[in-house]
Amino acid sequence: MSFTYNKKNAKCMWCKRTQNPHPDYSYETIPTKIFTSKKGRRIELCFSCYENETKEISKDSDFEEKLNKKFELLKVLNL
């Protein structure tokens, strides 16, 4: 799993962080990766949120489904 480091305008869509959480790299943007949800939405996540979403999941398709559900929920809550 490769994350993009120091990407311009990087922002995790779940935790909303934009800065690298590591103190040595706090001047860099947060490492993120774009995932595609089941409905084809592009979801940008940081490493810790990705780990959170996948720790109880064994199949990729479950992860894509989960991304979809969470995205829809955030949209409804207008976050």
Q: Say whether residue 3 binds Zn ion (CB under 5 A).
A: no
**Given candidates 3, 4, 15, 21, which one binds Zn ion under the rule CB under 5 A?**
15
Q: Say whether residue 49 binds Zn ion (CB under 5 A).
A: yes
C-beta separation of 71 from 37 below 8 A = yes
**Given candidates 14, 35, 53, 67, which one binds Zn ion under the rule CB under 5 A?**
14
C-alpha distance from residue 11 to each of 16, 22, 45 (Å): 6, 15, 7
Where along the sequence are the contacts to Zn ion (CB under 5 A)? 12, 14-15, 46, 49
